[in-house]
Amino acid sequence: MARQRIISTSINGNPVEVLAAPRQTLLEVLRENLDLIGTKEGCSNGNCGACTVILDGRPVDSCLVLAVEVEGSEVETIEGLASTDGLHVIQDAFLGQAALQCGICTPGFIMSTKALLDENSSPSEGEIRFHLAGNLCRCTGYDKIVRAVEQAAAGEMN
């Protein structure tokens, strides 16, 4: 196996140095090397969005990014959203709208929603559905997820 190397990056605003093999994905390194298990694995080939994180402001499937690629970047994961003051407005909205059932896709949806609202604070329903189409949910039928994103957008505007 190829030699491991040290990757210097920022995760949720904290500088992180991690030893990882070149073949390891960002998803694997987050979960296995850094114990950030909030980022979920659903397919490992970029089709389901459960492992969505925000990389330098853009939502990405962390299973499609090699860990060595995030050298010098800024990574945001679900663990960085809530603060000591409480939940993030998107997390509150997902709870309030009952926008989850089993919850395995929820961290990915929340990160995709954050990326959307960071860019567009008052998306239409069509824009929400288009933007979140890379995140699969098998439980909810998406209706309550869309309602939650609408609530979060309204909350962010207030």
Q: Closest approach of Cβ 63 to other proteins, in Å?
A: 10
> Quick check: helix, strand or coil at residue 44?
coil
Is the Cβ of residue 9 or residue 91 nearer to other proteins in the bound state?
91
Burial of residue 85, with CB atoms counted within 10 A of its CB: 0-12 exposed, 13-18 middle, 19 or more buried: exposed
**DSSP reduced 3-state for 109:** helix
Q: Given its phi and psi angles, is residue 98 left (phi above 0), alpha (psi -120 to 50 degrees) or beta?
A: left
Residue span binding other proteins (CB under 8 A) among the ranges 10-18, 54-62, 64-72, 145-153: 145-153
| Among the listed residues 71, 102, 122, 124, the single contact to other proteins using CB under 8 A | 102
User: Cβ closer to other proteins: 83 or 158?
Assistant: 83
Q: Is 22 in the site for other proteins (CB under 8 A)?
A: no
User: Which of the stretches 5-13, 64-72, 77-85, 114-122 binds other proteins when contact is defined by CB under 8 A?
Assistant: 77-85
In angstroms, the CA 130 to CA 126 distance is 6
C-beta neighbour count of 56 within 10 angstroms: 12
Tell me if 149 sits within 8 A of 113, measured CB to CB: yes
Q: Which CB sits closer to other proteins, 61 or 65? A: 61
- Which of 18, 144, 152, 153 lies at the binding interface for other proteins (CB under 8 A)? 144
Residues 42-61 close enough to bind other proteins by CB under 8 A = 42-45, 47-48, 50
Burial of 2 per CB tally in 10 Å (0-12, 13-18, 19+) = exposed
Number of residues this chain uses to bind other proteins (CB under 8 A):
58
Among 107, 114, 115, 123, binds other proteins (CB under 8 A): 107
